[in-house]
Every structure is written in structure tokens, then in C-alpha cells.
């Protein structure tokens, strides 16, 4: 047979390491009211980031995260309620820095309620992607306050 020989097959270029960022809804604050998927992910993630307004206090998301994850894997992202934009920018830098050191890691961001509603997770994930490059982003839904109220739990207790 004559003609040009077929080019030798080449292997595809190696794919760069890609980490996974997961928004995990931890519900209204009761560790018994998280989904099985959320509990499993909090227990298995390399790190669990928890947003906090108070650098010294333990918030709802952190309390639930600590129920499933060892304390050494839980990292607080302090967001000043008086300067939320700068706080969330700093949080995105901290998460992107973590991915820079853990290229194929799995990082969870625990959010009260559900990360798709009244949550800044989507904005945080977009900012982290802009800083860290390609990431897989997933969402694990959580129970929202209206769902909890519908089940008979009061919306507010004490001074909350």
C-alpha cells in the first residue's frame, strides 16, 4: 500500500490535578438533621471550611461540622459582618491557597441551611475558581429553616 503513513498515535496530554470544592448544607443547626450525604462528606473531606462572623464564637455550621469532622480538619473563615465583601474576598484567598497546596484535595464549605438559598457559597466558589483555576464544584443540599418549621420546630428560640 502506498501513501503517507498514518501518524503514530499519541497519548493525550496529562490532565492537571483538579480539586473538588463542595458546598455542604448543614441544616438548621442540629447534627441529626443533616442528610446522610452531608454527614459522609463532612467526615471524609480533607478540610471543612466554616464561615464565621465571630472569630471567637462557634457558629451553627461549625457546631455541626465538628460533630462529623475532627477539629483539626475544621478551618474557620472569619467574615466581618461590617465589611462582608472584603471578608469573603479574604475567605476565597484562603480556600484558593489551600487548593494550591492540596491540588487534588476535597474541601467542604459547611453552610447553615442549604448552600443554594440565602448562602454566599456560589459567589465564594466562583471567586475560588478565579484564583485557583479549574475546580470541580458540587453542592450537597441541606434542610432549610422553612422545612424545619414545617416539621414543627420553632423558627426562633430564646434570643435567636
Rounded (10°) angle between helices 121-132 and 84-101? 50
**pLDDT tens figures, 103-132:** 899 999 999 888 887 678 999 999 999 999
Q: 156 lies in a domain?
A: no
Q: Into how many domains does the chain fold?
A: 1
Q: 138 lies in a domain?
A: yes
Q: 73 lies in a domain?
A: yes
Q: 3 lies in a domain?
A: no
Give Cα separations from 100 to 20, 61, 103, 131, 152 (angstroms): 12, 25, 6, 10, 44
**pLDDT tens figures, 11-50:** 665 555 589 999 999 988 889 989 999 999 999 999 999 9
**pLDDT tens figures, 131-141:** 998 899 999 99
Q: What is the CATH number of the domain that holds 30?
A: 3.40.1010.10
More confident residue, 7 or 97: 97
Q: 48 lies in a domain?
A: yes
Range of the domain at 23: 19-150
Amino acid at each position: 500500500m502506498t501513501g503517507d503513513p498514518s501518524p503514530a498515535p499519541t497519548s493525550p496530554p496529562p490532565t492537571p490535578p483538579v480539586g473538588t470544592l463542595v458546598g455542604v448544607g448543614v441544616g438548621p443547626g442540629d447534627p441529626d438533621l443533616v442528610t446522610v450525604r452531608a454527614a459522609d462528606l463532612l467526615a471524609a473531606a480533607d478540610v471543612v471550611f466554616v464561615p464565621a462572623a465571630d472569630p471567637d464564637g462557634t457558629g451553627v455550621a461549625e457546631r455541626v461540622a465538628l460533630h462529623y469532622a475532627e477539629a483539626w480538619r475544621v478551618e474557620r473563615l472569619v467574615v466581618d459582618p461590617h465589611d462582608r465583601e472584603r471578608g469573603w474576598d479574604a475567605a476565597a484567598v484562603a480556600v484558593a491557597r489551600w487548593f494550591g497546596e492540596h491540588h487534588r484535595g476535597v474541601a467542604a464549605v459547611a453552610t447553615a441551611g442549604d448552600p443554594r438559598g440565602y448562602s454566599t457559597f456560589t459567589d465564594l466558589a466562583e471567586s475560588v475558581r478565579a484564583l485557583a483555576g479549574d475546580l470541580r464544584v458540587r453542592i450537597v443540599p441541606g434542610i432549610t429553616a422553612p422545612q424545619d418549621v414545617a416539621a414543627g420546630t420553632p423558627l426562633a428560640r430564646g434570643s435567636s
